[in-house]
Copies of this chain bind each other. A is one copy, B any other.
């Protein structure tokens, strides 16, 4: 049976971006399948009482430097985003719509890279459309569907399910019942896969 790694993420989270860049390598080495779980990190923070590292100024200052070092060690492009923190509600609903259309992979590539390598302000609807169109996606169609109650409900359900499983930040991974938080725990995820954790 193929092992699964559930990947809870929000495009507005730089650590989610860094983790996402490592998923192809993880699947190549382990054969595991990634199950993408778009969620609204703001909703998770609200439900758990957690908050962004930037709510503590000294931590926020450090996090930027730490993320740069992590990216350098991973060998992936990264730059901070001047519009951070971004309201990602539309983007995350778009992810649910893209997932239903089985175009989540190009959608995530376009959105993550626009925010975390190209410094685009993806809080602006016209920027979202431009970025998605440049990626060859039906930008207007996807954005229209973010108003679909079924799409809204699915994102909300994903977020609530995350919280009920103990998620408090992003990215969060599950291998069976084992939860792992942070792009810096992918080594633990990989180890759990090799040890055949089933939860």
Contacts and interface: CB of A to CB of B under 8 A. Distances in A.
B56 A168 contact: yes
Given A56-B168, A166-B61, A181 B48 contact: no
Given A48-B56, A50-B56, A56-B168, A188 B69 contact: yes
Contacts of A179: 62, 65
Identical subunits present:
2
A66 B166 CA distance: 13
Interface string A155-194: 0000000010011110000000001110011011001000
Interface of A: 48-50, 55-59, 61-62, 65-66, 69, 73, 163, 166-169, 179-181, 184-185, 187-188, 191
